[in-house]
């Protein structure tokens, strides 16, 4: 559950940085750095280990390690607790300790690499796609971009527009799923339609094959409108 997993550095790079740090502290010691494929790693299977360094927040994890070791017939490890470095400059939404999660939050909005050059794409308008689950902040970011002068295209609204009686997908959807999906006023009852496709991959594909191309066409029309407006 790390914050902003997309910005976690590759394993090889993290190992190299860790090794450099440890050897800088005490080059005479031998360091075996191993990847963890589960919460325990070799701590519950290596009979040669004697001590586990923990912090206040990972102390319970150390106790869990010792419980597993006892189950595996191994002696307990000595748990040596250290204090974590405090971050005096952390903001309200960041952790008090110095952490990679806070560092990744600070990288938000930083261009990590230049945009990919695609000769088939026009240089203008510059199109940004906002995606994410419910409550992830799409609307807030869209409003912010709108205040900065961006032309906003709301895919949710287009998704509703394709279903209205005058919409481009209306007749195809009714023909594919029957008149029983209609309300008395002739509009499509999205709940009834949803129940028909929920859990049925074949029916869902039939619906998306009708709706998504029409939505894409509407998006392209609106991008053209944005371009015309400059």
Q: Which of 63-77, 109-123, 196-210 has the highest mean pLDDT?
A: 63-77
- Distance in angstroms (rounded) separating the CA atoms of residues 174 and 31: 67
What's the pLDDT score for residue 134? Answer: 84
* pTM reported for the whole predicted model: 0.51
* Tens-place pLDDT, residues 9-30: 899 999 999 999 999 999 999 9
**If DSSP states are collapsed to H, E and C, what string results for 147-197?**
HCCCCCCCHHHHHHHCCCCCCCCHHHHHHHHCHHHECCCCCECHHHHHHHH
pLDDT for the residue numbered 5: 81
- 192: nearest Cα among 214, 171, 210, 207: 207
pLDDT digits (tens, 9 = 90+) for 59-105: 999 999 999 999 999 999 999 999 999 999 888 888 889 888 888 88
Predicted confidence at residue 4, as pLDDT, reads 80
Tell me the backbone φ, ψ of residue 29, rounded to 5 degrees.
-85, 155
Over 80: is that where the pLDDT of 123 sits?
A: no
């Amino acid at each position: 559950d790390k914050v902003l997993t997309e910005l976690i550095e590759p394993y090889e790079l993290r190992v190299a940085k860790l090794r450099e740090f440890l050897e800088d502290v005490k080059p005479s010691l031998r360091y075996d750095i191993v990847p963890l494929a589960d919460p325990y790693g070799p701590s519950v299977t290596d009979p040669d280990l004697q001590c586990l360094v923990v912090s206040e927040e990972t102390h319970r994890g150390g106790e869990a390690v010792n419980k597993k070791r006892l189950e595996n017939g191994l002696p307990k490890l000595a748990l040596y607790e250290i204090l974590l470095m405090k971050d005096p400059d952390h903001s309200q939404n960041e952790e008090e300790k110095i952490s990679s999660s806070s560092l990744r939050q600070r990288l938000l909005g930083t261009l990590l690499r230049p945009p990919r050059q695609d000769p088939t794409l026009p240089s203008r308008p510059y199109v940004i796609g906002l995606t994410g689950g419910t409550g992830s902040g799409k609307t807030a970011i869209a409003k912010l971009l709108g205040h900065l002068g961006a032309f906003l295209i709301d895919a949710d609204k287009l998704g509703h527009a394709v279903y209205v009686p005058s919409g481009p997908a209306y007749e195809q959807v009714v023909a594919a799923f029957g008149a029983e999906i209609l309300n008395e006023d002739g509009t499509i009852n999205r709940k009834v339609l949803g129940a028909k496709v929920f859990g049925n991959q074949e029916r869902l594909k039939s619906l998306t094959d009708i709706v998504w191309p029409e939505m894409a066409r509407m998006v392209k029309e609106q991008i053209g409108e944005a371009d015309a407006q400059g």
